[in-house]
Amino acid sequence: MLLYFKPGACSLASRIVLIELDLPFEAMAVDTQAGTTKAGADYRRINPKGYVPALAVAPGVIVTENPAVLQYLADHVPEAGLAPAAGTLDRVRLQEWLNFISAELHKAFGPYFHGDVLEGPEKARVEATLLRRIDDVEAGLSDGRPFLLGTVFSVADAYLFVVLHWTSFIGVDLARWPCISAFMTRMLARPAVRKALAAEGLLQDEAA
């Protein structure tokens, strides 16, 4: 498999899951603004939407969109239990979280990374939306569960960790959300998470 990624972007979740599953893969960095890969290829010929992740699973076969990539990987090694079986209510709960993270939480970070300076009422509106979505996650973890689906780590946790990790780039302190803070600590203790962060230059004290 070949993972097309941008350091620190949501594609980091796919890298975490690939490492968790011990799947052999290669990784190719993408400059999404220029639309080229590190090797100089036209990325839009690989993923016409122009963003990451994209996962080449066979010659000419590309999977895109984070929830789809993550579920594909989990189903590739079902015995690892990173996604409940298809057709079960637990699988629906996984899809609920993946869709929320993608459509609501991830999107709420968008204005911070578009290159525009946030000021005045617009800044207040953007901040309010983001904090409300983080509040939603805190509520979901408030029953003491260690992971989104309960006691078992899933691909949704990898995605959630990556998106919440972006708060470190925009100056939002997660300490105000105790359940989330505990979740992030648990995630940072996972060897696959640390290895993935190191591989993308986000954890300097670890070997990639």
Tens-place pLDDT, residues 186-199:
999 999 999 999 99
pLDDT in the model for residue 107:
95
pLDDT in the model for residue 122:
83
Q: What is the pTM of this model?
A: 0.95
Q: Who's near 114: CB < 8 A, 6+ residues apart?
A: none
Residue, of 89 and 115, whose pLDDT is higher: 89
Asked whether 181 and 174 are in contact (CB, 8 A), the reply is yes
Q: Which residue in the block uniquely carries the two structure tokens 């603004």?
A: 33
pLDDT in the model for residue 205:
54
pLDDT in the model for residue 36:
98
CB atoms within 10 A of CB 208: 10
16: its two tokens: 């975490």
* pLDDT at residue 116 greater than cutoff 80: no
Average pLDDT, the chain: 95
Asked whether 17 and 5 are in contact (CB, 8 A), the reply is no
50: its two tokens: 């122009």
